[in-house]
Structure 1
Amino acid sequence: MAVFGNNTSKETKKDITELSNAETRIGKGAILDGNIETYGPVRLDGKIVGNIKSKSRVVLGETSSLQGSILAQNAEISGEVKGLIEIVDLLTLKSTAVINGDIVCNKLIVEAGAVSNGSCKMGNMVKEIKINDNTKKNAHDS
């Protein structure tokens, strides 16, 4: 398998497909101080002090708290966010959502009761999500 270079082999594409199906979960009561970058979906019910970047869907449950930014394809937020939210396609703010920060998205659904303190820009503003894939190493680097 090609680890370095611009060539994307069939095996590398298969690895990326498998990664995009793996869900990252931060459960209720858990606290993460750091960033998440993933090809797959993210589910947060705990607290993150840091940023979330996903080429898939991000879901923040009612008990969630994020102090940082979100960059994702789609997102559904029921908890609290303090930071910038950038969504390529659809952002859904559930009735329990509290947003303190700016929103940039293509489409937006806001349920009655959701709170948003910040500006909102809509349209095809967010172009691409790039994930840094530093997880693969050459066998000689171990």
Structure 2
Amino acid sequence: IAVPIGYVMSNGEASKLTLACQLLDEVMPILEKRQVILLFDSWYAKRELLAHALRYPNLNVICNARHDTAMFELPGPTAGRRGRPPKYGKRLMLDEIADDLKNYLCRMDDYFVAHRLVKTRIFGDRTVHAYVTLSKSGSYRLFFSTVDPM
């Protein structure tokens, strides 16, 4: 069930991300016994809000992201080398995930969808699901999700 809980018009003193964090702090205690999915657009897909939201164990996030958001493959094995293991693998570009659309087409309604597990700096040390959609018009959109698709 999608229920709009509240909204705030900014008076210019607090940023949009600070207001969103405050709204989460007010709402999440009410919803502590429910599984909550927070949906938002790329305007809010910033580290400050994501780190705050993921402190709640019953909260998952699905967000639209800017096409130039840094994404990385999962780090490979350390291969027995000394030192700290890598946090991130090779940097991925949106085009590389979109190329999967040509190889493996998963069609959902009027969109083709490619999926890959990635790491991003905006989610910190967390592995997230990256989805790239291709519409009939040929435009790509990037989404991140902490929800397990299974």
Fold shared by both chains (TM-score > 0.5): no
Scaled by the length of structure 1, the TM-score of the pair is: 0.27
Scaled by the length of structure 2, the TM-score of the pair is: 0.26
Task: Identify the structure with the greater strand proportion.
Answer: 1
* Greater relative contact order, per chain length (Cα 8 Å cut-off, separation 6+): 2
Larger radius of gyration: 2
Task: Identify the structure with the greater helix proportion.
Answer: 2
